[in-house]
Structure 1
Amino acid sequence: MRTRPHTLAIGAAASLVAALAVALPQSAQAADTSPVGFGAGTTGGGNATPVTVTTLAAFKTAVTGSSAKVVKVNGLLSLSGQVDIGSNTTVLGVGSASGFTGGGLRIKEATNVVVRNLNISKPLAPADGITVQESTKVWIDHNSFSADRSHDKDYYDGLLDVTHASDNVTVSWNTFKDHFKGSLVGHSDNNAGEDTGHLKVTYHHNHFSNVYSRIPSLRFGTGHFYDNYVQGADTAVHSRMGAQMLVENNVFASTKVAVTTSRSSDVDGYANLRGNELGGAAIEISRQGSFTTPPYAYTAEPASSVVASVTSGAGAGKL
C-alpha cells in the first residue's frame, strides 16, 4: 500500500503531518508487508536467504519442494505451459521488468505461497498466467498481468484462475490489462461437491483495464472485492452458482455491467454492494447476499480516492 504525496503549507507543524498520516486510509499509507483479507497469515518463504535466477531451468529447480525459499527472478523469461511452485515459497521479480511470457505459474496442492512484482504476459491456452488449484494461503501482490485483444478470446487462457477448492487467497495491487478472460474463481458449474465451502478470495486495489469479463467470475465461493478500479469491461463482477460477493468502494468506468448475479449459469449468485462509483454501469442483482462482514480486519478507503491510489500503486515495480 503506497502513500500518496501531500503538499503542506510552509511552516506546518509536525503534529499536523502526523495527524494527516493517521487520517489517511490504511490502504494508502504504505506498501503491504503482509496480506490483508482471506490470505492473511501467508508468509511464503519468510526470511529464507534469497536465491536469484536468470534462466527458466534454474527457476524450475529453485521453486520445487516444500522447504522455505525465496526465489528472485531477474529478467523476462519465455516459457511454454506452466511451472509448478512448491509450498512455503516466495517468488519475487527483480526491478520492474522481470517475469514470464508465453505461459505462467501453477500453485497446485501447495500452501503458503507468495507471488510478487512479476510481469506475466500472453499465457497461451491452456496455460493461465497463474493457476491456483487445491491450495491454501496464497498471496498474489503487485504483479502486472497482460495479453492482447487482437486474437480470439480463447487464444490466451485466464490471467489468474483460482479453482478446485482452493482457499484463503488475497489478490492485491495488481494490474490486469488487455485481455478477454480476467480472473475465474471456480472452474465449472458441475464442481459443487469439491468447491462448496471453499474458494474464499479477497481482491483489493487492483486495476483492470480493457479486460472484457471475469473481474472476477466466482462460483460457489465467498469473494470480497473492494477498492478496485475497473475500466473498459463488458461484464465485471459475476457471482454465480450460489457464490456470495461483497462489492465495496470500487470504481467502474466505461463498463457496461458492473455486477451481475444472473448470467451464464443455471443457479444465480448473491451480491451485496456498498460505496461503489458505478460510472453509469448497470447492475443485475437477482439475489442479495448474506456476506456483509468479512471475518478479518481491513480498512476500505472511500471510492473517491481509489483511482489515485490504484493508478499510482498497483503493478510490478511499485513495491
Structure 2
Amino acid sequence: MRRSVALRLSAGLATMAVAVGTGVALSMPEASAAPSGATGYATQNGGTTGGAGGQTVRATTGTAIHQALCNRASRSTPIIIQVEGTINHGNTAKVSGDSCSTAAGVIELKQISNVTIVGVGSGAVFDQLGIHIRDSSNIIIQNVTVRNVKKSGSPTSNGGDAIGMESNVRNVWVDHVTLEASGGESEGFDGLFDMKDNTQYVTLSYSILRNSGRGGLIGSSESDTSNGYVTFHHNRYENIDSRTPLLRGGIAHIYNNHYVSLNESGINSRAGARAKVDNNYFEDSKDVLGTFYTDAAGYWQVSGNIFDNVTWSEPGGDNNPAGPDPKSNTTVNIPYSYNPDDAGCVPGIVSQTAGADKGLKVSDGDCSPQTPSPTPTATPTSPSPTPTTPTPTATPTQPGGTNLSLGAGADGSSKADGTSYGNVRDGNMNTYWSPAGSTGAVSIKWGSPTAVSTINIREAAGSVGNIGSWRVVNADTGAVLASGSKAGVISFPRTSLRKITFEITSSTGTPRIAEYETYAG
C-alpha cells in the first residue's frame, strides 16, 4: 500500500542532471583503494571480498565502468573499479563483451562476480542513474552517492531504485554510500535499496538513506519470500515515508541505526519475516516497528532500542504496530560476531561515520569513530565459501537411521521444466529436481525444530558426478554447516533447525538430485 505525503526536503539536496560528454576515461591509478572487510551477513556464505586481488582501474564515466567489466578475462575475474566524477545518462552506454552483459541508462552488474566499485578522489555521484545487480555474487559498492533515480518521468533508470538487487544474487556489501531522492512514488521515484527474487547475504552499513517515499524492501510481494540474511547497521534513515526496510519473509539483523522523521511507518516485518532489532535510535517518527498494510504477520526480537518522540497508531485490521512498548515475539540467532554501540550514542557515531565521503570511518563498538586499515587484497576464488576446517568431499557411504526428509516439505531457488522440489523427498530414485540453470538450491523443511547431522545427496541416473562444489546452509540462521565438492553423504555438527538448504555453486553438467535425505545421526 502506498501513501503519499509532502516530503520535507533537505536544503542542500541537488536535483539537477549534469551534462557530460560520452568520452571514456579509463586508466591505471597509482594506488589501489582497498575497502575494509565486510561485516554482518555479507561475511557468511563464504564471505564477500569483491574485486580484492584483481586489477585496479579508474573510471570517470558509466561507459568506462562497463568497459572495465567487459575487458576482464572472464565474468569472474576480480576487478576493483575506482570511480570519480558524475555518472549520468549522457555518459553511460551499453558495452558488449564475453565477460559482461551491460545496458545503457543503468550501471549493470549482471551475471558477474568478484567486483568492487569504490568512489575515490573528489567523489563519485550517480545522478539519476541506478545500480542494478542481477544474477551476480561477491559484489562490493562503497563510498558513492546515488541520487534521484526515477521509474517514471524522464529520465528513468533501474525501475526507480537507487540500488536494486534481483534474481539469485549472493554476497553483496554496500558500505558508506548516500542514497537519496527528492520525492515519493507520485514524483516518479521508487525504493532506495531493494532486494527481491532470491537475494541473500547482504549488508548495508554506514550509509545515509534520505528524502524518499520508500527506503527499501526485501521481497517484491507476499509470495517472494526467498530473500533474506540481510544486515543493516550504522545507517541513517532521514525523512522517509515507509519501508526502513519492508521485510517479506527471511531474516534481517537491524542494529545501531539512527532513524529520523519516518513519516508513516518504519521497519515493516510481514509475511513471516523475522527481524532482530537492537540498539537503534528512533527519533521524531511514527510507527517505527510492526506489521503494516497487511494481515500477513511478521516477527521481531527487540532489545536496547531508544524511542525518542515516537508516536504509535492504534492496532486494527492490517495495522499492527509493535509499540508503544515493543516486546519480542520471536528469537533470531545471529551467526556472526558483532560489537554494537550503546543506543544512546548512535546519533553521534552515525553522524560521524555514515555516508559517502566520510573517510570510510567506522565505529569501534565503544562509540568512537575509527579509520580502518585496508584489508589485504588476497585474490578470491569464486564466491564459494572458504571454511576454516579442511573442505570435505561427500562420501558414498549410506547413513543409518530414519530418513527425516520423508514426509517433510521442500522448496528451492528455481526448478527446471518437468522437475519438482518434492521429488527430492519422495523416496523414488526415478524422479528428480534440477535447477533452472547450472547452479541453484533445494531445501528440506519441517514445521518444528528438527535435529540433523547428516545429509545424503543422491544424483539421478545418468547425471552422477555432475554436481561440483556445494554448501549446506542452516536456513534458519544463514550459517554454513559444511561445504565441499561432489554429491554423497555429508556430515556436520548436529544442529536443530526448521529448514536446511543444499546449494549447488558449480557443476560440470546438469545437476539432477533424485533424493535429498536427512538424518539425525
- Shorter-chain TM-score bucket reads 0.7 to 0.9
Q: Please point out which of 309, 316, 319 is paired with 2:356.
A: 316
Map of 2:36 onto structure 1: 33
Shift of 1:63: 3.0
Map of 1:277 onto structure 2: 306
Is residue 60 of structure 2 the alignment partner of residue 54 of structure 1? Answer: yes
Is residue 193 of structure 2 the alignment partner of residue 160 of structure 1? Answer: yes
Map of 1:9 onto structure 2: none
Structure with the larger RCO, 1 or 2 (CA within 8 Å, 6+ apart) = 1
3-state SS of paired residue (1:98): strand
> Aligned partner of 1:68: which letter?
P
Counting only pairs closer than 5 Å after superposition, residues 160-239 of structure 1 correspond to structure 2 as: 160-192=193-225, 195=226, 198-234=227-263, 235-239=265-269
Shift of 1:83: 2.0
8 Å contact 1:63–1:84 — kept in the other structure?
no
Shift of 1:49: 2.5
Q: Distance in 1 between matches of 2:66 and 2:161?
A: 17
8 Å contact 2:87–2:129 — kept in the other structure?
no
8 Å contact 1:92–1:117 — kept in the other structure?
yes
Q: Distance in 2 between matches of 1:154 and 1:295?
A: 40
8 Å contact 1:123–1:156 — kept in the other structure?
yes
Q: Distance in 1 between matches of 2:190 and 2:256?
A: 26
Sequence identity percentage: 31
8 Å contact 2:160–2:188 — kept in the other structure?
no
3-state SS of paired residue (1:309): helix
Shift of 1:200: 1.1
Gap change, CA 1:43 and 1:206, over 3 Å in 2: same
Q: Please point out which of 168, 171, 174 is paired with 1:137.
A: 171
Shift of 1:280: 3.0
Q: Please point out which of 88, 98, 107 is paired with 1:83.
A: 107
Gap change, CA 1:43 and 1:103, over 3 Å in 2: same
> Aligned partner of 1:38: which letter?
Y
Q: Distance in 1 between matches of 2:295 and 2:140?
A: 35
Gap change, CA 1:96 and 1:247, over 3 Å in 2: farther
Q: Distance in 1 between matches of 2:270 and 2:289?
A: 11
Per the normalisation by structure 2, the TM-score is 0.52
User: Aligned pairs, how many?
Assistant: 283
| Cα RMSD after superposing both structures | 1.9
Map of 2:134 onto structure 1: 108
Shift of 1:232: 0.4
Shift of 1:32: 7.5
Shift of 1:106: 1.1
8 Å contact 1:100–1:119 — kept in the other structure?
yes
Q: Distance in 1 between matches of 2:216 and 2:191?
A: 6
3-state SS of paired residue (1:278): strand
> Aligned partner of 2:37: which letter?
S
> Aligned partner of 2:283: which letter?
A
Long gaps (5+) in structure 1: 1-30
Shift of 1:273: 1.1
Map of 2:342 onto structure 1: 302
8 Å contact 2:270–2:294 — kept in the other structure?
yes
3-state SS of paired residue (2:39): coil
Shift of 1:307: 0.8
8 Å contact 1:189–1:265 — kept in the other structure?
no
After superposition, what is the alpha-carbon deviation per residue over 1:200-241, rounded to whole angstroms, capped at 9, x for unaligned? 100000011111111011101101100000100021111010
Q: Distance in 2 between matches of 1:143 and 1:105?
A: 12
Q: Distance in 1 between matches of 2:52 and 2:35?
A: 14
3-state SS of paired residue (2:288): strand
Q: Distance in 2 between matches of 1:62 and 1:266?
A: 47
> Aligned partner of 1:135: which letter?
V
After superposition, what is the alpha-carbon deviation per residue over 1:38-94, rounded to whole angstroms, capped at 9, x for unaligned? 111200001222100112211112234321000111101113742221310000011
Per the normalisation by structure 1, the TM-score is 0.84
Using the TM superposition, name which of 231-240 and 92-101 deviates more: 92-101
Using the TM superposition, name which of 87-96 and 137-146 deviates more: 87-96
8 Å contact 2:86–2:126 — kept in the other structure?
yes
Is residue 247 of structure 2 the alignment partner of residue 241 of structure 1? Answer: no
Shift of 1:36: 1.5
3-state SS of paired residue (1:254): strand
8 Å contact 2:224–2:248 — kept in the other structure?
no
Q: Distance in 2 between matches of 1:62 and 1:268?
A: 45
Q: Distance in 2 between matches of 1:92 and 1:155?
A: 28
Shift of 1:281: 1.7
8 Å contact 1:99–1:119 — kept in the other structure?
yes
Q: Distance in 2 between matches of 1:110 and 1:205?
A: 25
Shift of 1:293: 2.9
Gap change, CA 1:122 and 1:264, over 3 Å in 2: same
8 Å contact 1:250–1:306 — kept in the other structure?
yes
Q: Distance in 1 between matches of 2:134 and 2:51?
A: 17
After superposition, what is the alpha-carbon deviation per residue over 1:16-51, rounded to whole angstroms, capped at 9, x for unaligned? xxxxxxxxxxxxxxx982122111120000122210
Q: Distance in 2 between matches of 1:282 and 1:268?
A: 21
8 Å contact 2:279–2:340 — kept in the other structure?
yes
Shift of 1:95: 3.4
> Aligned partner of 1:241: which letter?
A
